[in-house]
Amino acid sequence: MGTADQEAETEEAGLIERARSGQSAAAEQLLRDHLPKISAICRRMCTSPSDAEDATQEAMIAIARGVRRFDGRSSFSTWVYRVTTNACLDEIRRHKRRPVPSDAHAEVATPSEEDPAQRVEQYELRDQLSQALADLPEEYRVAVILRDLADLEYGDIASVLELNLGTVKSRIARGRARLARQLGDNRADIAHAGTNRPAESSESQRQHD
């Protein structure tokens, strides 16, 4: 771990302690630091923008209210992802029968210096990924998102979902296989479009599995 990473961890640890002691400014800073990943997980996990927005708000409220009870038995990030995942699942179950609008899987466009044709292709890939993820069974979608978007290790995902390690690995493997079939073997890289992880090699996946 580099010096910058160590400094960031030390700074976050200080924020956590101050937030646990009731300092609202520290809690607000923690929320700002984690909001991009919380929002990204909610957008991928929920099947419509409105549900994702509601889940994000619920997750932020739950984190703000629960930070004083954070006991450090897992990393703070793992705890945040557990709270976020639960907020998403609650939202999904609450609106399970609600019709999905036609633009439910659209990604918000962001400015880019890329070639326009490349930018359009990237947006198309992300839209295909969003649709494919939405079509996955819930248990597979959640596990894949936590691995490939949140970048959690398998053990951390097991902690977040309160499952054994073998079940987590199985759900991720099956989820990825379904994505590959939906997206097409020649577009396997789509499964990682817009995420923070490169596609894992077959050898790497065997080592994890």
Q: Which segments of the chain belong to CATH 1.10.1740.10?
A: 13-96
Higher-pLDDT residue of 3, 115: 3
47-61, 71-85, 161-175, 178-192: which has the minimum mean pLDDT?
Answer: 178-192
Task: State mean pLDDT over 103-129.
Answer: 52
Q: What is the spatial distance between Cα 28 and Cα 5, in angstroms, rounded to a whole number?
A: 21
What's the burial of 19, exposed, middle or buried (CB within 10 Å: 0-12/13-18/19+)?
buried
Q: What phi, psi does 167 have (nearest 5°)? A: -65, -40
Number of H helices, E strands in the chain: 9, 0
- Asked whether the CA dihedral 152, 120, 104, 129 is positive or negative, the reply is negative
- Asked whether the CA dihedral 111, 116, 118, 120 is positive or negative, the reply is positive
Class assignment of domain 13-96? mainly alpha
Quick: pLDDT tens for 5-48.
Answer: 777 888 999 999 999 999 999 999 999 999 999 999 999 898 78
Q: What is the spatial distance between Cα 185 and Cα 87, in angstroms, rounded to a whole number?
A: 33
Read off the tokens for 81: 């992802």
CA dist list (Å): 117 to 60, 125, 179, 193: 37, 12, 25, 16
Q: Which segments of the chain belong to CATH 1.10.10.10?
A: 112-209
Q: What is the CA radius of gyration of the chain?
A: 18
Q: What is the CATH number of domain 112-209?
A: 1.10.10.10
Q: What is the spatial distance between Cα 23 and Cα 125, in angstroms, rounded to a whole number?
A: 43
